[in-house]
Structure formats: C-alpha cells, structure tokens
Amino acid sequence: MRLKGIFLLLSLGAFTSYYVYQPIPDEIEERWKLMLTDCFFRSLSHLADFSELLGLKDYMGVMMFITFAERVVPVSDQRVHVTEELFDEVEVVVYQPKLQGGDTELRRAVIYLHGGGWCLGSARMGPYDLLARQMVMDLNSVVVSVEYRLAPEHHFPVPYEDVYRAVKHFLQSGVLAQYSVDPGRIAVSGDSAGGNLAAAVSQQLQQDPEQQLQLKVQALLYPVLQALDLNTPSYQQNQNMPILPRTLMVRFWSEYFTSDKTFFRAMMTNTHNSPDSAALLKFVNWSAFLPESYRGKYNYSAPVVALSVGGVGSDGPSRSIADPRASPLLVPDAVLRSLPKAYVLTCEYDVLRDDGVMYAARLRRAGVEVTHEHYAGGFHGALMFTMWPTDFLIGRTMTENLIRWLQHNL
C-alpha cells in the first residue's frame, strides 16, 4: 500500500509539473510566476471548453469568472473622487482629483477602454481601477472608464457603438466644463480590445462632420487591429504563448462577430476572407509593413479568399471583418493623415505584436507623430498584472512609461 501511495504521489507530481511547466523564452522576467499564472488561465479555459461541450454554460460565460474575481466597487478615497454615471445611456466610471480650495485649473482627461477581447473585462476590475487612480494622481487628470456592453450577448458593432456614444457625449463643451476639463488636452487609450476600440474611435471622430472637438492623443496598448490575416509572424511565433494563445484570440474575434462556430473554424485556418475583404488585404500585407527584424523565418502567403465562409453568408461576419470600426488597420492613408499623435505599445511575445507594429509603421508613413514602445521581454496583458498575486515588474514599468508619455504629450 505504501508503494502504491508513493507511486500515486509521484505520478500526481509528475502530471502537475507537466501541466504547469511551459517553455517560456529567457527574455521574459519572472518566468515561473508567469507559468503559474498561465496555468490558472489554461485550467479555466479547459473547464470552459468542457462546460460548453456538455451544454452547461457557454465558453465565454465560464471565462467571465476572471472578470468577476477581480471586480471591485469603485469608491472615492482621500485623493480621488469616483462616481458612476451614464453618458448617453452608456455606463462609465469617472475618476477626478479631489478639489482643493480655490482650485479652478482646467485638467487633462483620459478616456480609457478596457481589454478582454470584447467578451470579457470590466471598467470595475481592480487593475483598471488602480490604473485610473494612478492617472488621476500623476497627471492631475479626469479619467473616464467606459463600461461598454460585451459579446457574445452583444455582437459587433454594439461594443464599438457604446464607446463612440460615450466619447461623443463627454466631448460636449457643457460636459467638459462640468468636469473642469481642458478641451485641448483629451486622450483616448485602451489595452488589447480596448486599444482596438480606441483606434477605431479616433478614426471615426475625424470623419464625423458633426464633431467639432477632436482628441489630442491616442495611446494604444498591445492593440488588436485587424481580423483579415490571423497568420502573421507574431501569430505563428506566439501561437502557444501564455495568457493569449492564438486559439483564444481567434475565438475572441469569432465571438465578437457571431456565435456560429463554422466561422470560428474558418478563422482558425485563416480561410475566413470573402470578396468583401479581399481588396483590403493590401493593408495587412506584413511583407510590406513589418520591418525585417519582426518577420523572422516566416514567408508571406496571402490569406485565401472564399465566396462563402463555412456556410456564413456575405451579409454576416465576413462583411464585418472588413469594417474599419472592427479592423482599424484597414483604413487608407488619407484617413490616417489626420489622426492625433499616437503612442503604440507592443510586446515581443504576443500574437498581436505585428498588428501594433504595422499600425505604427503606417501612421508614420502617413505623417502622424508616433512613439512606438516595444518590450523585448513583454507578453500580452502585462500592463494589467500590477496587483497581488499577479504583480509583475514589467506591468509597473509599462504603467510608468505610459504615464510619463502622457505627461509630456497631453
């Protein structure tokens, strides 16, 4: 019996080590902490797959545990005044510096859009609450954190439309005066899917004939910017990287557009383009826009164009992927030229790396002033890993660098 017990214990230890251990590049700091963090994410993902297979709860419904686990109630403290408001029927959390006696100075403002693949996340999560408070204190700014509706319950373009409505509401002169905001010092920022929404909003505001007031800067943090080619070098190199493997990113894209699993399968094989998107593939031709150092050993092969995608007609998601409100990288240079100054953060070990690199390159070619900050040891989501037990040094470094750039440019 003792030998059987020892054998079972050793077997369990070996299985646990096999499951937890994942090869992680040496350039990434705190590798074991990242392995353990990713082990939790993978376990939850496997549970979500199993739940969906049994018909108990859909995949994203289970993954929402991450959002619920990190949810906080935003409350005021000694230095920051917090309120929950509705901007044109869209929920927002507004963070403001507490007024000192006789303080009438107009302030900067940052509109922040959370990440989570349009399916997860919340403005009320601990890391976003912490980031907003740091911006308020270090920038003496007002921060508006938008709680947009999520897919798959609300497919594209609902999340984008929520954000656009909230931003336009805030940019009204009367609203800015209410919050003592300088109309010439307003930024939009977001991470991951939030970076996608921030880029799209910046573009659409410039093209809105009714919009007089414009943003001063945009800060895009490891943004996702195109759905046409899901086989760029970074998607290939980092397909099994922690936090955001290729399968999960493709799933986010698919769920953003539709609940039809045939479209997800087409996206997984990069055969989801239709004639609606074929003419736009030139904007994501990474052989033209990626510096050679990012191309690595990979050779460009144009995505397949199909008349129908897995039984999904041209009026559905096949058309949506060509919409620049979903894929901001697809706009022509004429649209890019009028955009505000940009900060683009990318990470080497992130499937979305090339989206950000290509966008930064295209913005520069169009004459936009761009700061591209690339983290050679960075991984997706690092900016949000700033709270115990998943507090990473790189997350704090990214936050400090972002705020420093805003101090100098906003």
Q: Tokens standing for 267? A: 């996206």
Percent of the chain that is helix, strand, coil (3-state, to 5): 45, 15, 35
Q: Which residue type sits at 243?
A: I
Name 283's Cβ contacts closer than 8 Å, sequence gap at least 6. 226, 228, 329, 330, 331, 332, 362
Q: Identify which of 382, 380, 362 has the alpha carbon closest to the alpha carbon of residue 372.
A: 362
Tell me, yes or no, if 380 is annotated catalytic: yes
Catalytic residue among 45, 145, 192, 320: 192
Q: Which helix (H) or strand (E) holds 138?
A: helix 126-139
Residue environment code for 113-127, b if the CB has 16+ CB neighbours within 10 A, otherwise e: bbbbbbbbbbbbbbb
How many other CB atoms are there within 10 angstroms of residue 292's CB atom?
A: 7
Residues 370 and 308: beta-carbon distance below 8 Å: no
Give dist(CA 12, CA 124) in Å, integer.
38
Tell me, yes or no, if 51 is annotated catalytic: no
Give dist(CA 321, CA 302) in Å, integer.
16
Name 23's Cβ contacts closer than 8 Å, sequence gap at least 6. none
Q: Tokens standing for 135? A: 């911006």
Residues 350 and 380: beta-carbon distance below 8 Å: yes
Catalytic residue among 38, 162, 191, 350: 350
Residues 168 and 211: beta-carbon distance below 8 Å: yes
- Helix ranges (H only) for 224-336 are 233-237, 246-257, 261-268, 275-278, 286-289, 292-295, 317-320, 333-336
Catalytic residue among 114, 155, 272, 380: 380
Residues 165 and 171: beta-carbon distance below 8 Å: no
Phi, psi of 225 (to 5 degrees): -130, -5
Tell me, yes or no, if 122 is annotated catalytic: no
297 by DSSP, 3-state: which? coil
**Residues assigned a catalytic role:** 192, 350, 380
